[in-house]
Amino acid sequence: MIKFFLMVNKQGQTRLSKYYEHVEINKRTLLETEVIKSCLSRSNEQCSFIEYKDFKLIYRQYAALFIVVGVNDTENEMAIYEFIHNFVEVLDDYFSRVSELDVSFFSAVNQVFHSAWQRTG
Amino acid sequence: MALKMVKGSIDRMFDKNLQDLVRGIRNHKEDEAKYISQCIDEIKQELKQDNIAVKANAVCKLTYLQMLGYDISWAAFNIIEVMSASKFTFKRIGYLAASQCFHEGTDVIMLTTNQIRKDLSSPSQYDTGVALTGLSCFVTPDLARDLANDIMTLMSHTKPYIRKKAVLIMYKVFLKYPESLRPAFPRLKEKLEDPDPGVQSAAVNVICELARRNPKNYLSLAPLFFKLMTSSTNNWVLIKIIKLFGALTPLEPRLGKKLIEPLTNLIHSTSAMSLLYECVNTVIAVLISLSSGMPNHSASIQLCVQKLRILIEDSDQNLKYLGLLAMSKILRTHPKSVQAHKDLVLQCLDDKDESIRLRALDLLYGMVSKKNLMEIVKKLMTHVDKAEGTTYRDELLTKIIDICSQSNYQHITNFEWYISILVELTRLEGTRHGHLIAAQMLDVAIRVKAIRRFAVSQMSALLDSAHLVASSTQRSGICEVLYAAAWICGEFSEHLQEPQQTLEAMLRPKVTTLPGHIQAVYVQNVVKLYAAILQQKEQAADAQAAQEVTQLLVERLPQFVQSADLEAQERASCILQLVKHVQKLQARDVPVAEEVSALFAGELNPVAPKAQKKVPVPEGLDLDAWINEPLSDSESEDEKPKAIFHDEEPRHAKQRPPEADEQELARRREARKQEQANNPFYIKSSPSPQKRYQDAPGVDHIPVVQIDLSVPLKVPGMPMSDQYVKLEEERRHRQRLEKDKRKRKKRERERRGARRHTSLHTESDEDITPAQRVDIVTEEMPENALPSDEDDKDPNDPYRALDIDLDKPLADSEKLPVQKHRDTETSKSPERQDVTVVEKKSKKPKKKEKKQKEKEREKKKKKEAEKGVDLDFWLSTTPPAATPAPLPPGFLQEEPGVNAAVTAPKEEPRGEEQDAGEDAEQDLEKPSEQKKKKHKKDKGERSKDKKRPKKRAPPREGDAEPVQNGALREEPLPPMSSYSLLAENSYIKMTYDVQGSLQKDSQVTVSMVLENQSSSFLKNMELNVLDSLNARLARPEGSSVHDGVPVPFQLPPGISNEAQFVFTIQSIVTAQKLKGTLSFIAKNDEGSTHEKLDFKLHFTCTSYLVTTPCYSDAFAKLLESGDLSMSSVKVDGISMSFQNLLAKICFHHHFSVVERVDSCASMYSRSIQGHHVCLLVKKGEKSVSVDGKCSDSTLLSNVLEEMKETLAKC
C-alpha cells in the first residue's frame, strides 16, 4: 500500500504531495523535510530504498527533482520504482519534455496523477 | 443583476489566479511568508463573494498553499460550496481541495453526504468520477455507511472509467464500514472478470489487499485467480495476484504445489525485475509452507537462490538490496542453501550503501556457526571501528550481540572471548545500547558459572576505569554498563583479586554523577563487597584492617545519602546506620563478619520474564468472582489511594498456605454464588474498575472477611512512606527483572523448545547453570502458553474488522442501508432509522424466520462441504495448464451471483439462496406449501422475463431496488426489469427505461440499451426524435431542433452498450409518445450501408415518478391536509402474494412502502415536478384495490390506469 507520494526539489520545496492516509498538516511539513533530507544524503551509488521509521521510501531523482513514494513493507519495491518512471514518462508525454516548472504549475499534473496512480491503489 | 455580473467579471480580471500565485511566490523568495499571508488575506476576501468562479479560484489557490504546508482547514465550508458548483471545472477544484485537507475530524464533512450522492448519480461520468476520487481520500465511517450502496451500484456502471474508480473506492469503504463487505463482495468478485482490463486490475488490487489481511476467507477464490494468473499478461496485475498467492499458500500447502511450476516458468521467462522479485518472494513463501511436509523442492530453492545471487551480484544497488532482502526470507527456513553464499554476503558488508550493509548483517545472523563465529565477529568489530554514523554503529552493535547470543549462545565456544568482546564494545562512545551490553554481561555472568572469575576480573577493571566512562559519556547510555559491572563485582565478590581496590573504586566521589539507579546498585554492592572483605579480614584476624574498611565506608557513604535519587538515598542511609552499628561492635571487638555476610547469603536465580504471567490458574479458582461484594459506584472514585494496598495484598498472600480445606472453600463459593444470585445489586459480568485489582492469583485462598462498607478501606494511621516502600519494593523488583532479562526474553523461549526436543548445544550445556534453574522456567511457563502471544496483536488494527466469512449466504439484516427507500413500517422520524432496522428484524414472523434459518443452516453445511470438495478437486488436478478450462461444475455453482447477473442481476444476493433453497428443499422435513408455489411462480416469471428482450443488466435503479425494499421481504422475488423493448430489426435491438430525477424538475433521463444483433460493425449512430410541444430532446448547445444526437460509442458485433438521453418535459400529468429514428452505418466485409430504425418512445406517467421515502408521520399529515384529490381502481384475479405485489409496484411504478399492516399497505411517491402521490393498497381474496390521492387528479388517474395494467399481468 502506498502511503504518500511526494515531488520535492533539491531545495526541499514540495512540488506535489498526495497523502493516502491523513497526516496532520504540520507533521506533513516535518515529514517532507526529513524525507528529502534522507534522500539528499544518499549518493548515486546507493540504492533507492530507504527504511524510514515503520515504512519504506522509494525514490528516484530526475535532475533536481525527487519523486519519493512512501509504502508499507508489503509493497513490491521494484514495482513502485518502475512505476515512478512510468509516471514521469506520462508527464513527459503530456508536457512534451517535462520540467520542474511544469510541475510547479501543478493543476494538470494532478489530473495526470489521478489517472495514473489509480491502478496501484 | 446584469450589472452585478459584469462587475463581478471585471473584478475577476484583477484577481490573481493560481499561475499568478505561483509566479508571485517565486518572485518573493526573500519574504515568502509575508507574501503568502497577504495572499491568504486576499483569498479570504474572494471567498466572501457570491460569484462561484471567484470562490473556485480562491479555493484552487488555497489548495496550492496547503501543499506548501499552510493550514486551510478554516476554508472547509467554502470548499464544500465549490464542490457543489454545477460546472465541472469548479467542482473538480472543490473535490481536489477536499481530498487534500478533509479528514475524519473535519466536522463539516457530514454536510457533504447529499452532495456526493447527487454527484455520484450524475449523468456525467466526469462528475461521478471526480466525486469518487475525492471521496476516496476523505471517506468517514458515516459517509461509507450512507454511500456504500450508491458506490456499489456504480460498480456496474456502463463506463469502465466509473467502474474502475468505484471498485477501488470500495476498499476504503470496507475499511471504514466493514458491514458492507459481505453484501458487496459478490459484485466485487464479478469484476474480476470484467471485460475492461482497468476494472479487472482494480478488482484484483482490492481483493489482494483484503486477502492479505485475512487470507482464509478468500481461499475459495484461488481457482479464479489461478486462471487470471495464467492468462493475464499485465505485469501489474500479475504482481498483485502473485502477492496474493503468497498470502494464501500458508493456509493451503497444496495450492503451493500447484503454483510452483507456473511461477518457476515466470521466473525463467520474465524480463521485468519487479515481477521476478515478486515471483521469487512467493516461491519462497510456498517453500516455507511446504518445508514441513515436502523436502524435495530443493530444485526450486536452488533456482531462487541462484536468481537472487544474480541480483546481488548485479551492479544495480537496488537489485542488490532486494536480493539480500529476499535472501533473508529463505534463510529462515533453508539456512543451508544460503550459507553457501557466505562469501557474497561478507562482500556486501563492505558495500558503500548503508541499507545494503544492514541487509547483509541480517543475513549474517543465520550464517554463523561455532566455527566461523569468531571470524565473523572480528570482521564486524573492524566495521564498528570504521563506522562513521552512530546509527549504523549501533545497528552493528546490536547485531553482534544478537549473533553471539542467538539460540542460547549456541555458537559461543569461549565465553572469555565473549566477555572481552563485550568489554571492547563498552569503549564505543555515544552508543544508545549500553543497557544491551549490560544485560548481556549480567546474563552471561549469572548463567555461566565457569566464567564468573574471569567476568569479575574484567568488571573490576571496568569499575577501576570508571572515571573515564563516567566523565566522558555521562549523557550517553554506555554508563549502564557500570550497573552490570557493579552488580557482578558485588554479587560474586568471592572471585575478586583485590576487593579493597574495587571497593575504593566504587566509593569515588565521581560516582555520584552517575544516574540514580546506578548509584543505588553501587551502594547495595558496596555492602556486599564490604561483607566479603570483613570476612576475609576477620579470618586473617586483621582487626585493624577491618576497622579501616569500616571507617572508609562511614566516611564515603554520606555522599550517597545526599543523592538526588530517592532509591540511592534511602539505601545509603540504611546502610550507613548499619555500618555505624558494625563500627560500634568492632570497637568492642565483637566478631561481626558472619552476621553481615548472612545478609547476602544464597544465590539469585534468573526467572523468565513472563513466568509470573504464565502461572497457571489453579483448578477451582475463579478469578472473576468477587471476593467481597462490589462497592457502590459512588465510592469507587475515592478508591484510588486504597488501591495500592488492595493490589498488594494478594501478592503477599500467595506464599501463605491455604488455611481452609477444599470442602470449606467449595461451601463458601457456593454460598457466595447464591448470595450473588439473590443480590439485585450484583452486576454479573460488567467489568468494574475494582475487578482488576482482584485478578491476582491465589485470592480464593484468602479467608474472606466481610468488610463493613461503612468503614473506609484505608487503614488510618498508616504512614505515607509505607506506600513508597511498597511501591519502591515493587519497582525495584520489576526493574531488576526487566534489566536482567529484557534481552533474554526471546532466548528463554527458544531454549525451552530446544531443551525439550534435542540437546543441540552439547558443550554449552555443561557451561551453563544447572538444570534446576531451567526447571523453574519450564515450570512457570505452562505448556499451553503459546509463544505467539495474544498481546502481540493490535486490537486497533482496522483490518481485523474485515475478517468476515464471505462464503456464508447473505442475511437480510446485512443488506446495505439505503437512504431512499428505507423501510418505514415502524419508523416515525428520521433520527430513529438505525433503530428501526433492528426492530424490524426482530419483528419478523417468528415461524418463518425459524424455518428460513434452518434452511440456511442446512444449506450452509451443504455449501461448505461443496466448497471443500471443489477446492480439493481443483487442487488435486495436477496439470496446471489444463485447470482453467475444466473447472468443475460445482465450482461454477459457487458463484451463482455471476450467472444470475446475466439474466436477473437484481437477484444477486438472493439468487444464490433460491437455487440452494431448491436443492435443500428435499432435505427439509416439511417444505412449506407456499414456498413451493412460489418457486413455480418464479419459474414462470423467469421464463416470461426471458421472452422480454433484455440481455444486459439494467443499471442503477434496477440494481438498487432489491436492496432498497429488501428489508420487507421474507421470500425471494421474481426477477424484474424495467427495461422494455423499443424497436428491433436485423441489425440492432433497442430497449429503454425512463427515469426522472428530483434534482432537475421537468427532466427525465432515457437509458437506452443498444444491442448489435448482426455480424456487422455499427458506427456513426445518431438518435433523433420529433419534438412535441410538451417534450423535447436535450441537444448539445448550438444544434437545431432537427439535428440528431450522436450516440457516444460504436458497436462491434454481438456487443451491447447503454446510452443516456435527457428529455425536457413541460407537463407531466399525461402520458405521451415521441416518434424517433436511430440512424447508423453498418459495416461488414461487403461494404457499409446506411440503415435506419424508427421507434416510438413511450413516456408513461409512472416514469415521471421518483421513488422518495416518506415517514408515516409525514404521510399522515399529507393525507390530513386535504388538498389531494382522490381516485381508485380495483383489479380482480390476482394470485400473487401481497409481498411480491408490493415489490412490483415499488419497482415498476417507483413507489416506496410507508407502512404495511397485514394485507394492506400505504405507499408514497413523488413526481419530478413535486406532486405527491399517495396510495392505499388492499388485497382481498383474489383482488386488489388501490385508492390513490394526489395533488393532481389527471396524473393520479393516469398513474392508476398504468398500474392497473401492471397488476392485470400478475
* pLDDT tens-digit readout, A32-89: 888 888 888 887 778 888 888 788 899 998 888 888 988 887 788 888 888 888 888 8
Residues of A in contact with B282 (CB under 8 A): none
Residue B433 forms part of a structural domain: yes
Tell me which of B185-194, B592-601, B927-936, B1167-1176 is least confident. Answer: B927-936
> Closest residue of B to A3, CA-based?
B137
- Picking from B67, B70, B194 by the largest number of A CB atoms within 10 A of its own CB, the best residue to mutate is B67
Task: Identify which has the larger pLDDT, B317 or B697.
Answer: B317
A105 CB near a chain B CB, below 8 Å? yes
The arithmetic mean of pLDDT across residues B356-383, rounded, is 83
- Picking from A19, A35, A46, A106 by the largest number of B CB atoms within 10 A of its own CB, the best residue to mutate is A46
Rounded percentage of chain B residues whose pLDDT exceeds 90: 1
Nearest by CB: A81 against B104, B133, B318 = B318
What distance in Å separates the CA atoms of residue B143 and residue B819, rounded to the nearest whole number? 12
What integer pLDDT is reported at residue B416 of this predicted model? 85
Q: How far is CA B426 from CA B411, B475, B488, B728, in A?
A: 22, 14, 16, 30
What integer pLDDT is reported at residue B133 of this predicted model? 84
CATH 3.30.450.60 fits A2-118, yes or no: yes
Rounded percentage of chain B residues whose pLDDT exceeds 70: 68
Whether B386 and B530 map to the same domain: the answer is no
The answer to whether B243 contacts A76, with C-beta atoms less than 8 Å apart, is yes
Residue B269 forms part of a structural domain: no
Tell me which of B9-23, B412-426, B786-800, B1177-1191 is least confident. Answer: B786-800
Which of B 64-83 lie inside 8 A of A, CB atoms? Answer: 64, 66-71, 73
The arithmetic mean of pLDDT across residues B824-853, rounded, is 45
A19 φ/ψ angles, rounded to the nearest 5 degrees: -110, 135
The arithmetic mean of pLDDT across residues B1083-1090, rounded, is 81
A118 CB near a chain B CB, below 8 Å? yes
Task: Identify which has the larger pLDDT, B1180 or B275.
Answer: B275
Select from B362, B388, B408 the last residue of a domain. Answer: B408
Whether B1093 and B1166 map to the same domain: the answer is no
**Crossing angle of the two packed helices B390-409 and B373-386, in degrees rounded to 10:** 160
* Strand pairing category for B1184-1190 and B1045-1046: unpaired
Select from B1070, B1099, B1128 the last residue of a domain. Answer: B1099
Which of B 293-352 lie inside 8 A of A, CB atoms? Answer: 317-322, 352
Task: Identify which has the larger pLDDT, B249 or B836.
Answer: B249
Residues of A in contact with B126 (CB under 8 A): none
What integer pLDDT is reported at residue B710 of this predicted model? 38
Question: DSSP readout, B135-182?
Answer: HHHH--HHHHHHHHHHHHHHTT-S-HHHHHHHHHHHHHHHHH-GGGHH
What integer pLDDT is reported at residue B796 of this predicted model? 58
What integer pLDDT is reported at residue B694 of this predicted model? 40
B357 CB near a chain A CB, below 8 Å? no
**How buried is B1042 (Cβ within 10 angstroms: 0-12 exposed, 13-18 middle, 19+ buried)?**
exposed
Mean pLDDT estimate for chain B: 72
The answer to whether A78 contacts B273, with C-beta atoms less than 8 Å apart, is yes
What integer pLDDT is reported at residue B735 of this predicted model? 56
Which of B 679-698 lie inside 8 A of A, CB atoms? Answer: none
Residue B609 forms part of a structural domain: no
Residues of B in contact with A42 (CB under 8 A): 353
Nearest by CB: A78 against B22, B137, B277 = B277
Nearest by CB: B19 against A74, A105, A119 = A105
B1084 CB near a chain A CB, below 8 Å? no
User: pLDDT tens, B1122-1139?
Assistant: 777 788 888 887 777 888
B277 CB near a chain A CB, below 8 Å? yes
Nearest by CB: B239 against A45, A79, A110 = A79
The arithmetic mean of pLDDT across residues B994-1003, rounded, is 74
Does residue B858 contact residue B923 with C-beta atoms inside 8 Å?
Answer: yes
C-alpha cell at B1111: 415517514
A119 CB near a chain B CB, below 8 Å? yes
Does residue A8 contact residue A31 with C-beta atoms inside 8 Å?
Answer: no
Q: Return the number of other C-beta atoms located less than 10 Å from residue A37's C-beta.
A: 10
Whether B1132 and B1079 map to the same domain: the answer is no
The answer to whether A120 contacts B205, with C-beta atoms less than 8 Å apart, is yes
The answer to whether B274 contacts A79, with C-beta atoms less than 8 Å apart, is yes
User: pLDDT tens, A17-28?
Assistant: 888 777 888 888
The arithmetic mean of pLDDT across residues B310-337, rounded, is 84
**Whether pLDDT at B675 is above 50:** yes
The arithmetic mean of pLDDT across residues B917-940, rounded, is 44
Does residue B773 contact residue B443 with C-beta atoms inside 8 Å?
Answer: no
> Closest residue of A to B200, CA-based?
A119
C-alpha cell at B562: 545526599
Whether B401 and B424 map to the same domain: the answer is no
| Residue A18: closest CA among B96, B89, B83, B168 | B96
What integer pLDDT is reported at residue B574 of this predicted model? 92
Residues of B in contact with A22 (CB under 8 A): 103-104
Whether B472 and B581 map to the same domain: the answer is yes
The answer to whether B201 contacts A14, with C-beta atoms less than 8 Å apart, is no
Identify the domain containing residue B470 by its residue range. Answer: 415-598
Confidence class of residue B573 from pLDDT cuts 50, 70 and 90?
A: very high
**Whether pLDDT at B985 is above 50:** yes
A26 CB near a chain B CB, below 8 Å? yes
What integer pLDDT is reported at residue B513 of this predicted model? 81
Task: Indicate the Cα dihedral angle A4, A7, A8, A13, nearest 10°.
Answer: -90
What distance in Å separates the CA atoms of residue A49 and residue A78, rounded to the nearest whole number? 9
**Nearest 5 degrees, angle CA A12-CA A16-CA A20?**
115
Residues of B in contact with A118 (CB under 8 A): 133, 164-165, 168, 202
Whether B1073 and B1204 map to the same domain: the answer is no
What integer pLDDT is reported at residue B894 of this predicted model? 38
Confidence class of residue B577 from pLDDT cuts 50, 70 and 90?
A: very high
Residue B362 forms part of a structural domain: yes
C-alpha cell at B934: 412460489
What integer pLDDT is reported at residue B466 of this predicted model? 60
User: pLDDT tens, B95-153?
Assistant: 888 888 888 888 888 888 888 898 988 888 888 888 888 888 888 888 888 888 888 88
User: pLDDT tens, B635-646?
Assistant: 444 444 444 444
Amino acid residing at B372 = N
Determine the distance in angstroms separating the CA of B274 from the nearest CA of chain A, rounded to an integer: 5
The arithmetic mean of pLDDT across residues B192-199, rounded, is 86
Q: What is the ipTM of this complex?
A: 0.86
A2 φ/ψ angles, rounded to the nearest 5 degrees: -85, 135
Does residue A74 contact residue A81 with C-beta atoms inside 8 Å?
Answer: no
Select from B388, B408, B428 the last residue of a domain. Answer: B408
Which of A 42-71 lie inside 8 A of B, CB atoms? Answer: 42-43, 45-51
**Whether pLDDT at B952 is above 60:** no
What distance in Å separates the CA atoms of residue B873 and residue B223, rounded to the nearest whole number? 10
Whether B527 and B478 map to the same domain: the answer is yes
* Residue partners of B460: CB distance under 8 A and separation at least 6: B485, B489, B496, B497, B498, B501, B502, B505
The answer to whether A77 contacts B322, with C-beta atoms less than 8 Å apart, is yes
What integer pLDDT is reported at residue B1074 of this predicted model? 84
The answer to whether A110 contacts B96, with C-beta atoms less than 8 Å apart, is yes
- Picking from A4, A23, A47 by the largest number of B CB atoms within 10 A of its own CB, the best residue to mutate is A47
Residue listed under C-alpha cell 574498611 = B549
Residues of B in contact with A77 (CB under 8 A): 277, 318, 321-322
Residues of B in contact with A78 (CB under 8 A): 273-274, 277-278, 318-319, 322
Residue B508 forms part of a structural domain: yes
**Whether pLDDT at B241 is above 70:** yes
C-alpha cell at B290: 511446504
Say how many Å lie between the first and final Cα of chain B, rounded: 57
Whether B1067 and B1147 map to the same domain: the answer is no
User: pLDDT tens, B293-304?
Assistant: 555 667 778 888
**Whether pLDDT at B842 is above 70:** no
**Whether pLDDT at B769 is above 60:** no
Task: Identify which has the larger pLDDT, B78 or B944.
Answer: B78
Give the three-class secondary structure for B357.
helix
Tell me which of A59-63, B174-178, B856-860, B1124-1128 is least confident. Answer: B856-860
User: pLDDT tens, B410-454?
Assistant: 788 788 888 888 888 887 776 778 888 888 888 888 888 888 888
Residue B831 forms part of a structural domain: no
Q: How far is CA B1113 from CA A68, B1031, B1119, B1163, in A?
A: 57, 36, 10, 13
Whether B420 and B385 map to the same domain: the answer is no
What integer pLDDT is reported at residue A83 of this predicted model? 84
Nearest by CB: B165 against A32, A81, A118 = A118
Confidence class of residue B678 from pLDDT cuts 50, 70 and 90?
A: low
What integer pLDDT is reported at residue B303 of this predicted model? 81
**Whether pLDDT at B925 is above 70:** no
Residue B680 forms part of a structural domain: no
The answer to whether B165 contacts A49, with C-beta atoms less than 8 Å apart, is no
Domain assignments of chain A as residue spans, ordered by start? 2-118
The answer to whether B355 contacts A49, with C-beta atoms less than 8 Å apart, is yes
Question: DSSP readout, A3-17?
Answer: EEEEEEETT--EEEE
| Residue B965: closest CA among B1183, B1102, B807, B1161 | B1161
Task: Identify which has the larger pLDDT, B927 or A25.
Answer: A25
Confidence class of residue B576 from pLDDT cuts 50, 70 and 90?
A: very high
The arithmetic mean of pLDDT across residues B895-914, rounded, is 40
- Picking from A13, A50, A76, A106 by the largest number of B CB atoms within 10 A of its own CB, the best residue to mutate is A76
What distance in Å separates the CA atoms of residue A19 and residue A32, rounded to the nearest whole number? 11
Whether B377 and B431 map to the same domain: the answer is no
Interchain CB contacts (distance < 8 Å): A and B:
107
Does residue B482 contact residue B505 with C-beta atoms inside 8 Å?
Answer: no
**Whether pLDDT at B180 is above 70:** yes
A16 CB near a chain B CB, below 8 Å? yes
What distance in Å separates the CA atoms of residue B160 and residue B1057, rounded to the nearest whole number? 12
Tell me which of A107-121, B188-202, B986-1000 is least confident. Answer: A107-121
Domains in chain B, number? 4
What integer pLDDT is reported at residue B627 of this predicted model? 78
Confidence class of residue A108 from pLDDT cuts 50, 70 and 90?
A: low
Whether B459 and B590 map to the same domain: the answer is yes
Confidence class of residue B771 from pLDDT cuts 50, 70 and 90?
A: very low
Residue B1134 forms part of a structural domain: yes
Determine the distance in angstroms separating the CA of A26 from the nearest CA of chain B, rounded to an integer: 7
User: pLDDT tens, B8-43?
Assistant: 555 555 567 777 888 888 888 788 888 888 888 888
CATH of the domain at B1177: 3.30.310.10
**Whether pLDDT at B978 is above 80:** no
Which of B 174-213 lie inside 8 A of A, CB atoms? Answer: 198, 201-202, 205-206, 209, 212
Does residue B348 contact residue B361 with C-beta atoms inside 8 Å?
Answer: no
Whether B429 and B557 map to the same domain: the answer is yes
